[in-house]
Amino acid sequence: MTETCHGRCFCKAVSFEILTPIRWSVTCHCESCRRQCSAPMTTYIGVPDTQWKWTGAAPKVYRSSPGVERTFCENCGTPLSFRSENMTGLMHFYVAAMEEPERFEPQLHVAYEEKLSWLNISDDLPKREGPKVVISD
C-alpha cells in the first residue's frame, strides 16, 4: 500500500514528501554521517528518485566527498539527506527529519566497524561492515 509521508527541517523552510514503500531503513555508524549530524550514529531511509520531491524551499547541497552530496537547510542547518553515486536512483533521508520517525524502524547497522567504542548496541539487527546496503525487496 502506497502512503505519502512528510519530512522537514527544524525551521520548516525545507520540506519534502516521500511515497512508501521505502527501499530500506539503516542505522549508519560511519564518521561522515556522524560528523554531518553531530550524533554518535544516524538512521536514514532509502527512497527511489521516483518516490520523493521537495515541497518547500530547496536545500543547500554540500559535496562532502567524491560522488557524495549531502543536503541541509541554509537557514537552520538541519541535515536532511545524502546521495551517493554508488547507489544510483536513490535519495537517503534522515529518519529524524521525518514527521513520523517511528514508522521507519531500522533493519540493519552499516559501517559497524566505525561504531564509537562507548556506544552499546543491544538490538538483534544485522551488523555489516562498510557502507554498502544490500536488502532484498
Separation between Cα atoms, residue 22 and residue 61, nearest integer Å: 23
The set of cell numbers assigned to 34 is 556522524
- Tens of pLDDT, residue by residue over 55-96, are 999 999 999 989 999 999 999 999 999 999 988 999 999 999
**Please, which pLDDT band fits residue 131 given cuts at 50, 70 and 90?**
low
For residues 89 and 69, give the distance between their C-alpha atoms in angstroms, rounded to a whole number: 13
Q: Which residue ranges make up each domain of the chain? A: 4-114
Right CATH for 4-114 from 2.60.40.680, 2.40.50.100, 3.30.70.2740, 2.170.150.70: 2.170.150.70
pLDDT in the model for residue 1: 86
